[in-house]
Amino acid sequence: MAKFTIFFLCFSVLISILITCSAVDTIAVNQTIKDGDTLVSADQTFKMGFFSPGTSNHRYVGIWYNQISVCTVVWVANTETPLNDTSGVLFTVSQGALQLVNGNNSAIWSSNSSGSVTTSGLVARLLDTGNLVLIDQGSLVWQSFDYPGDTLLSGMRIGVDLISGKRRLLTSWKSEDDPSAGQYVFKVDPNGYPQLFEMQDLVPRSRFGPWNGVTFNGMPNLGYNSKFVFNETEIYYEYELANNSPVSRMHLSLDGKIQLLNWNNRTQSWTISLTARIDNCARYGICGPYGICNINNAPACSCLEGFEPRRPEQWNLADWSGGCQRIKPLACGNGDGFRTMSGIKFPDTNHSWYDLNMTLGECEAVCKRNCSCTAYASLDIRSGGCLLWFDDLMDIRVYDESQELHIRMPASELTSPTIPESGSNKKKQTIIIVVSTSLGSALVCLILALYAAWRKKKRSRKTRLDLVEPRDENYTNESRKEDAELSTFSLSMIAKSTNNFSLNNKLGEGGFGPVYKGVLEDGREIAVKRLSETSRQGIDEFKNEVGCVAKLQHRNLVKLLGYCIQGDERLLIYEYMANKSLDLFIFDTSGSSMLDWPRRFRIIHGIARGLLYLHQDSRLRIIHRDLKAGNILLDKEMNAKISDFGLARRFSGYETEANTNRVVGTYGYISPEYAVHGLFSVKSDVFSFGVLVLEIVSGKKNRGFSQEEHNNTLIGYAWRLHKEGKSLDLVSPSLRPSCIDSQVLRSIHIGLLCVQHHAEDRPTMSSVVLMLGNENALPPPKQPAFFTEENLGKFDSTSSVPTLDSVDEVTITLLNAR
Ligand SMILES: *[C@@H]1O[C@H](CO)[C@@H](O)[C@H](O)[C@H]1NC(C)=O
Ligand SMILES: *[C@@H]1O[C@H](CO)[C@@H](O)[C@H](O)[C@H]1NC(C)=O
Ligand SMILES: *[C@@H]1O[C@H](CO)[C@@H](O)[C@H](O)[C@H]1NC(C)=O
Ligand SMILES: *[C@@H]1O[C@H](CO)[C@@H](O)[C@H](O)[C@H]1NC(C)=O
Ligand SMILES: *[C@@H]1O[C@H](CO)[C@@H](O)[C@H](O)[C@H]1NC(C)=O
Ligand SMILES: *[C@@H]1O[C@H](CO)[C@@H](O)[C@H](O)[C@H]1NC(C)=O
Ligand SMILES: *[C@@H]1O[C@H](CO)[C@@H](O)[C@H](O)[C@H]1NC(C)=O
Ligand SMILES: *[C@@H]1O[C@H](CO)[C@@H](O)[C@H](O)[C@H]1NC(C)=O
Ligand SMILES: *[C@@H]1O[C@H](CO)[C@@H](O)[C@H](O)[C@H]1NC(C)=O
């Protein structure tokens, strides 16, 4: 009897604690949580308690967001064993487990964990991360993060513990009303080189991967700070949110879509920020071995170049599962070669082999030596490494990826020039003028010299009326520029400055060679681009081209300091940009807080001025053709500098971050007339600029942006908000505190004018600079050009898209020397 009284007392004390102080975040030994009671994490972010999902009357113990108006459950304990009434009680048991019992005191669910024998120190605590942990004497006994449901929160992992064999995966709910296991599972598959698989009723449905150091190949970068660990003890994927980032969660929807959702405090709803594409081509192995899927082709499947359908009759009846076979057999020992492809999702790495330390050259050699090696690729876009395939190449699709796959082919197949291809019709594009030869370079320089002389003469007669665009402090004395001497550097000096091109100094890998950071003896920091073998050209031609580019000087262009030619080495030396590229700041929440609105507005201005210079004020009309966030570099003071301009693709400049950015692609920036007709003009750059402005304001990528009801593009979304007079909703949450509404609205408006469907409706860069700098009324934008990713994918296979240009083509487009 006495015992009962004591228990009763404890119990009522607990109740009063729960009533008077709602912010209890722990359950100590002998305490209970009844239906109606809750735990709240210390910082109030998460709440735990009993709930009924949707229209269900069943009761579950779960964790949800405490400060969000839409009840969003992120974790459920008793998914398979709901309570039928409100009699449930949750408590810690003395052996170190958490247990849920029904009204008859029989266990419904248990954490099945065990702690030490003495249990006075046992507590269950709901952490600020949303993790429910069970701690015994200070050591972790159990945590809810080890048992994910359909939601991956920041800090949660999916993967495999190779020691215990324990797997963590996401499982979709059965329905809105039922959190028990539905038909979809999203998991890391540990076979070969690990990849992500989405399973539908235990059958692979879609595959993403392999991990390329930044993201999973064939998938947009869902997490902000994504991390993939793969070593002898464990394989897992996780992402982390920065402290001040918006509330986000990764979620496997009822219909099997893996998506990243952000809470929009303004609209009080979840918005889909990114989603992995699940379309017909995402169906695992739809085109069979050596087949390639292009969602915009009819039929979607074709064979890789040099392959033919294995069973033509079935193939023609749209049964592609048999795949393709080689037209000419491999010679094996007798000099097989490799065909390089990009713009694709890499094949299944289920039977692959990798080495983190090998160079691409060694990788090729190893693959060449072994007849059963079918392809090789660089493993990590930042640090190299080697990935080898030892099987039929399976599950390839056209996808906006710049990573290159080298496919083993008999030498006889490789005699014709190879255009990266996807098996579809290869439409010939109209190229206006592309200078790709040394003769071209020499010609350009000659024209340059003549033009400079002519312009000098003309300038002396020029009246003030000619000056349409504003001149500002960015324009340095032109005649001084013309005389600017390009330095030559010795190889030994550069080698010393880069620590002998050490890996530690490597900033990144561009398409045509690695970029290293160096420090000259006088303390100046430099970025050194070491051109790879494929980009070798003669000394005179090289000097010539470099000389032309060096004459383009403007505060908002990355400056070429000099070059080095010695033996086989060709190096380009650029000023070092301490803050790398813009994409690292605007799309990444930890970085985005470092760029407040005034800084961003300054960056928009800077890009506009740099582009205006290229279009009008340099002596050549230069079209950049590849303007994107990754090509905007930032110096110490966060001044924007355009890189990768006016250079041949064969040594395409200071590309420190271009590669990481390429993962998400360039297609989002391409104007319709360029995508459809291969036509480009200064107005194509204006289009890219408009996209960039919208991205800077919203912190979202145009490419990969997903809002199904808004045609899948950022442009479409911005247009809709503009029409509804809600443009400010576009603003990235991290910008809101510093945002100056009038400037933001103006920027969005200008961005929309720049992405007009018809080139003639877009302003010139000189108008853009003017519009940015004053408060005059702006013309209303018409409906802009927005096509969905699917539309754009159509052009993945044609040669009109810059990232797929053949090696000899040149980025610089010289419409006319003025
Ligand atoms: C709830 O009710 C169903 C059927 O009425 C029963 O099978 C199940 O065991 C009950 N669950 C609990 C936790 O009592
Ligand atoms: C509890 O036990 C009683 C009697 O055995 C039974 O009628 C009732 O359905 C049980 N309730 C639950 C929730 O299992
Ligand atoms: C705990 O163990 C029981 C019995 O082995 C099992 O039915 C139950 O699913 C386990 N619970 C958890 C959360 O693993
Ligand atoms: C919990 O309750 C048991 C039995 O009622 C008691 O023996 C034990 O001392 C209690 N533990 C704590 C930490 O209060
Ligand atoms: C594997 O990676 C994890 C996380 O980085 C690390 O804690 C662990 O020690 C690593 N194991 C080995 C064997 O390197
Ligand atoms: C939403 O906005 C309100 C008012 O601006 C603010 O108090 C609250 O903290 C915000 N909530 C979240 C989750 O950001
Ligand atoms: C990967 O390979 C393993 C072992 O060979 C096989 O069991 C599994 O089915 C393969 N998975 C896929 C998706 O092909
Ligand atoms: C790769 O290089 C690192 C550092 O140089 C070294 O520690 C590691 O053992 C190497 N791994 C292999 C597989 O050679
Ligand atoms: C080629 O590679 C496969 C798979 O790693 C291996 O089993 C085989 O022994 C290798 N053959 C030669 C000749 O090295």
Residues 546-568 pLDDT 10s? 776 777 788 899 888 888 888 77
Ligand 6 centroid to Cα of residue 69, in Å, is: 11
Q: Which atom of ligand 7 is nearest to the CA of 284?
A: 13
Domain end call among 147, 162, 192: 147
Query: Of 192, 515, 124, 132, which is closest to residue 346 (Cα–Cα)?
Result: 192
Give me the pLDDT at residue 347, please: 97
Kindly state whether residue 337 falls inside one of the protein's structural domains. yes
Query: Of 489, 567, 556, 566, which is closest to residue 528 (Cα–Cα)?
Result: 489
Q: Which atom of ligand 5 is nearest to the CA of 234?
A: 1
Ligand 1 pocket test target in 50, 81, 84 with most atoms within 8 Å of CB: 84
Looking at the structure, do residues 225 and 342 belong to the same domain, yes or no?
no
- Judge if the beta carbon of residue 120 lies within 6 A of ligand 4: yes
Which residues, 6 or more positions from 434, have their beta carbon under 8 angstroms from its beta carbon? 809, 810, 813
Looking at the structure, do residues 615 and 745 belong to the same domain, yes or no?
yes
Report d(CA 90, CA 49) in Å as an integer.
9
Percent of the chain with pLDDT strictly greater than 70:
75
pLDDT surpasses 60 at 476? no
Report d(CA 759, CA 766) in Å as an integer.
15
3-class SS of residue 801: coil
One-letter amino acid for residue 654 of the chain = Y
Kindly state whether residue 206 falls inside one of the protein's structural domains. yes
Q: Going by CA atoms, what residue is nearest to atom 9 of ligand 7?
A: 350
Looking at the structure, do residues 176 and 40 belong to the same domain, yes or no?
no
Please, are residues 246 and 733 in contact by the beta-carbon 8 Å criterion?
yes
- Judge if the beta carbon of residue 81 lies within 6 A of ligand 3: no
Q: Which atom of ligand 8 is nearest to the CA of 355?
A: 13
Residue 428 region by backbone torsions, left for phi larger than 0, else alpha for psi between -120 and 50, else beta: beta
* Whole-number Cα distances in Å, 605 to 368, 588, 696, 771: 51, 21, 12, 10
Determine how β-strand 291-293 pairs with β-strand 396-398. parallel
Ligand 1 centroid to Cα of residue 53, in Å, is: 17
Reported as a single tens digit per residue, the pLDDT across 220-265 is 876 667 889 999 999 999 988 877 778 999 999 999 999 989 888 8
Q: Which atom of ligand 4 is nearest to the CA of 29?
A: 13
Ligand 1 centroid to Cα of residue 134, in Å, is: 28
Give me the pLDDT at residue 444, please: 44
Other Cβ atoms closer than 10 A to 780 = 9
- Judge if the beta carbon of residue 231 lies within 6 A of ligand 5: yes
Q: Going by CA atoms, what residue is nearest to atom 10 of ligand 7?
A: 350
Kindly state whether residue 10 falls inside one of the protein's structural domains. no
Looking at the structure, do residues 245 and 331 belong to the same domain, yes or no?
no
pLDDT surpasses 80 at 21? no
Choose the weakest-confidence range: 85-99, 133-147, 636-650, 664-678.
Answer: 664-678
Choose the weakest-confidence range: 32-46, 184-198, 356-370, 578-592.
Answer: 578-592
Ligand positioned closest to the Cα atom of 736: 6
Looking at the structure, do residues 550 and 645 belong to the same domain, yes or no?
no
Which residues, 6 or more positions from 243, have their beta carbon under 8 angstroms from its beta carbon? none
For residue 233, which phi and psi values (nearest 5 degrees)? Answer: -100, -30
Kindly state whether residue 470 falls inside one of the protein's structural domains. no
On the question of a cis peptide bond just before residue 210, with omega within 30 degrees of 0, the verdict is yes
pLDDT surpasses 80 at 575? yes
Ligand 1 centroid to Cα of residue 84, in Å, is: 6
Which residues, 6 or more positions from 541, have their beta carbon under 8 angstroms from its beta carbon? 438, 441, 442
Determine how β-strand 560-566 pairs with β-strand 487-488. parallel
Ligand 9 centroid to Cα of residue 217, in Å, is: 26
Ligand positioned closest to the Cα atom of 142: 3
Report d(CA 270, CA 72) in Å as an integer.
10
Token pair 């999902």: residue: 53
Kindly state whether residue 236 falls inside one of the protein's structural domains. yes
- Judge if the beta carbon of residue 247 lies within 6 A of ligand 6: yes
CATH code (residue 60): 2.90.10.10
Torsion (CA) 306, 312, 315, 321 in degrees, nearest 10: -70
Q: What is the mean pLDDT of residues 29-37?
A: 89
- Judge if the beta carbon of residue 162 lies within 6 A of ligand 5: no
Reported as a single tens digit per residue, the pLDDT across 390-422 is 989 999 999 888 889 999 999 888 865 443 344
- Judge if the beta carbon of residue 502 lies within 6 A of ligand 8: no
Looking at the structure, do residues 613 and 729 belong to the same domain, yes or no?
yes
Angle at 343 between CA 337 and CA 347, to 5 degrees: 65
Residue 339 β-bridge partners? 407
Q: Going by CA atoms, what residue is nearest to atom 11 of ligand 9?
A: 370
Please, are residues 667 and 787 in contact by the beta-carbon 8 Å criterion?
no
Residue 355 designated active-site: no
Report d(CA 23, CA 129) in Å as an integer.
15
Token pair 């496997």: residue: 252
Q: What is the mean pLDDT of residues 14-27?
A: 56
Please, are residues 796 and 343 in contact by the beta-carbon 8 Å criterion?
yes
Residue 93 β-bridge partners? 97
Reported as a single tens digit per residue, the pLDDT across 512-532 is 568 889 998 888 899 998 876
Ligand 5 centroid to Cα of residue 235, in Å, is: 9
Kindly state whether residue 1 falls inside one of the protein's structural domains. no
Please, are residues 406 and 338 in contact by the beta-carbon 8 Å criterion?
yes
Ligand 6 pocket test target in 265, 270, 736, 739 with most atoms within 8 Å of CB: 265
Ligand 9 pocket test target in 336, 352, 366, 390 with most atoms within 8 Å of CB: 390
Tokens of 62: 């779960």
Ligand 2 pocket test target in 87, 104, 105, 106 with most atoms within 8 Å of CB: 104
Angle at 254 between CA 250 and CA 256, to 5 degrees: 70
Range of the domain at 442: 429-460
* Residue 497 DSSP symbol: H
Tokens of 88: 């449930």
Task: Report the chain's mean pLDDT, rounded to a whole number.
Answer: 78
Give me the pLDDT at residue 670, please: 78
Q: What is the mean pLDDT of residues 495-518?
A: 80
- Judge if the beta carbon of residue 30 lies within 6 A of ligand 4: yes
3-class SS of residue 503: helix
Domain end call among 257, 278, 299: 278
Q: Which atom of ligand 2 is nearest to the CA of 103?
A: 13
- Judge if the beta carbon of residue 112 lies within 6 A of ligand 3: yes
Looking at the structure, do residues 385 and 528 belong to the same domain, yes or no?
no
Domain end call among 540, 575, 610: 575
Looking at the structure, do residues 528 and 384 belong to the same domain, yes or no?
no
Looking at the structure, do residues 685 and 800 belong to the same domain, yes or no?
yes
Q: Which atom of ligand 5 is nearest to the CA of 231?
A: 1
Ligand 3 pocket test target in 111, 112, 168 with most atoms within 8 Å of CB: 112
Looking at the structure, do residues 665 and 549 belong to the same domain, yes or no?
no
Query: Of 288, 310, 312, 284, which is closest to residue 301 (Cα–Cα)?
Result: 288
Strands (E) in 464-559, as ranges, are 487-488, 506-510, 513-519, 525-530
Give me the pLDDT at residue 589, please: 67
Query: Of 147, 122, 155, which is closest to residue 136 (Cα–Cα)?
Result: 122
Kindly state whether residue 466 falls inside one of the protein's structural domains. no
* Whole-number Cα distances in Å, 732 to 286, 525, 640, 695: 38, 33, 20, 9
Looking at the structure, do residues 508 and 622 belong to the same domain, yes or no?
no
Give me the pLDDT at residue 4, please: 37
Please, are residues 594 and 645 in contact by the beta-carbon 8 Å criterion?
no
Which one of 178, 626, 644, 805 is the catalytic residue? 626
Reading across the β-sheet that carries 158-161, which strands appear in turn? 167-168, 158-161, 234-240, 225-230
Q: What is the mean pLDDT of residues 642-651?
A: 54
* Residue 180 DSSP symbol: E
Give me the pLDDT at residue 471, please: 34
Looking at the structure, do residues 394 and 412 belong to the same domain, yes or no?
yes
Kindly state whether residue 714 falls inside one of the protein's structural domains. yes
3-class SS of residue 19: helix
Burial class (CB in 10 A: 0-12, 13-18, 19+), 538: exposed
Q: Going by CA atoms, what residue is nearest to atom 7 of ligand 4?
A: 30
Give me the pLDDT at residue 707, please: 57
pLDDT surpasses 60 at 752? yes
Q: Going by CA atoms, what residue is nearest to atom 9 of ligand 2?
A: 104
Using 50, 70 and 90 to split pLDDT, how confident is the model at 585?
Answer: confident
Other Cβ atoms closer than 10 A to 475 = 14
Give me the pLDDT at residue 553, please: 82
Give me the pLDDT at residue 438, please: 38
Q: What is the mean pLDDT of residues 754-765?
A: 91
Ligand 7 centroid to Cα of residue 798, in Å, is: 34
Residue 26 region by backbone torsions, left for phi larger than 0, else alpha for psi between -120 and 50, else beta: beta
Q: How many domains does the chain have?
A: 6
- Judge if the beta carbon of residue 66 lies within 6 A of ligand 6: no
Q: Which atom of ligand 8 is nearest to the CA of 357?
A: 1
Q: Which residue has the higher pLDDT, 66 or 669?
A: 66
